[in-house]
């Protein structure tokens, strides 16, 4: 814990120094008097849990990279012969693989040749196999833009990718790799939007798991319902309101 504390404190200190702000101590081990929890309370707050009053749920604060209009044309062309114009999308974000080519080869061997899928290359740097025209490999792209073309999303369960997948309103398969990803996978299951798949078997079992996922009308409906709830929230506005309220309270007590 001490090592983590020092590492995070150093990173925060650099950011504060660059912004011309005073140094802060114990950022990690002793949180501030007001802590903004940037996930939707309706979904992530455990019922009946006792949570200190300094923690305030405000909802998601999301940023997406600029969209590329040409990509939409490219993806519409790829999915034109698919009913509904949507296909599964796989992205493992910043996860890395020691031999990504071997994993991709396993996946290509198992994936049905009459079924299209989009794979984001990510940090794993999944290679394109020339003969696999039914598998489209993409580089860096806005998830909000990419997920508009998704019938289902397969991802690693990172906090940001989970948020984007929930906003997309389609069912998910989470393949946890490290850290908190298993937690977010369990939350996706709790919300009723999808389920987890083990990392060591995803290349061979993914198409069977997708069949099960997309054949479940309850999960499909739940994913759409969660999206509607998230579209109704305004995390940035609530965050500003909480900070202004805190400043006003602090001034009155000074």
Number of domains in the chain: 2
Instruction: Return the closest-CA partner of residue 91 out of 8, 15, 20, 181.
Output: 181
Of the pLDDT bands very low, low, confident and very high (cuts 50, 70, 90), residue 17 is confident
- The answer to whether residue 40 scores a pLDDT higher than 90 is yes
Residue 82 and residue 76 in contact, taking contact as beta carbons nearer than 8 Å: no
Percent composition of the chain: helix, strand, coil (DSSP 3-state, to 5): 50, 10, 40
Residues 219 and 194: their CA atoms lie apart, in Å, by: 6
DSSP three-state, residue 172: strand
For position 1, what pLDDT does the model report? 67
Q: What is the DSSP string of 84-134?
A: GG-EEEEE-TT---TTHHHHHHHHHHHS-TTS-EEEE-TTTTPPPPTT-TT
Q: Which residue has the tokens 């579209």?
A: 231
The pTM (predicted TM-score) of the whole model is 0.87
For position 101, what pLDDT does the model report? 85
Q: Which residue has the tokens 């993914």?
A: 206
* Token output for 180: 């908190």
Q: Does 129 lie in the same domain as 119?
A: yes
Range of the domain at 47: 25-60+233-254
166 domain residue, yes or no: yes
Query: Taking each helix axis from N to C terminus, what angle separates 181-191 and 159-168, rounded to the nearest 10 degrees?
Result: 20
Q: Which residue has the tokens 């140094």?
A: 23
10 domain residue, yes or no: no
Q: Which residue has the tokens 């289902």?
A: 152
Task: Express each pLDDT in 193-225 by its tens digit.
Answer: 999 999 999 999 999 999 999 999 999 999 999
For position 83, what pLDDT does the model report? 92
At 209, which CATH number?
3.40.50.2000
For position 127, what pLDDT does the model report? 77
Task: Express each pLDDT in 117-134 by its tens digit.
Answer: 999 988 778 877 666 789
84 domain residue, yes or no: yes
179 domain residue, yes or no: yes
* Token output for 108: 């290509």
Of the pLDDT bands very low, low, confident and very high (cuts 50, 70, 90), residue 94 is confident
């Amino acid at each position: 814990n001490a090592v983590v504390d020092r590492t995070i404190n150093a990173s925060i200190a650099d950011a504060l120094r660059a912004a011309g702000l005073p140094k802060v101590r114990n950022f990690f081990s002793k949180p501030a008097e007001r802590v903004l929890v940037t996930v939707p309370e309706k979904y992530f707050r455990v019922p009946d849990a006792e949570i200190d009053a300094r923690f305030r749920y405000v909802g998601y604060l999301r940023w997406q990279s600029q969209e590329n209009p040409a990509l939409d044309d490219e993806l519409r062309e790829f999915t034109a012969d698919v009913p509904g114009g949507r296909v599964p999308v796989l992205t493992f974000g910043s996860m890395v693989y020691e031999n990504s080519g071997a994993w991709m080869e396993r996946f290509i061997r198992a994936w049905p040749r009459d079924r299209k899928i989009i794979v984001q290359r990510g940090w794993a740097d999944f290679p394109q196999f020339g003969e696999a025209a039914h598998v489209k490999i993409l580089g860096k792209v806005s998830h909000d833009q990419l997920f508009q073309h998704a019938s289902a999303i397969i991802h690693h369960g990172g906090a940001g990718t989970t948020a984007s997948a929930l906003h997309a309103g389609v069912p998910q398969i989470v393949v946890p790799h490290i850290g908190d990803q298993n937690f977010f996978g369990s939350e996706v299951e709790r919300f009723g939007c999808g389920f987890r798949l083990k990392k060591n078997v995803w290349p061979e079992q993914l198409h069977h798991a997708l069949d099960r996922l997309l054949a479940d009308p309850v999960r499909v409906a739940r994913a759409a319902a969660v999206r509607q709830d998230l579209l109704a929230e305004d995390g940035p506005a609530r965050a500003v309101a909480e900070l202004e309220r805190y400043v006003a309270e602090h001034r009155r007590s000074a």
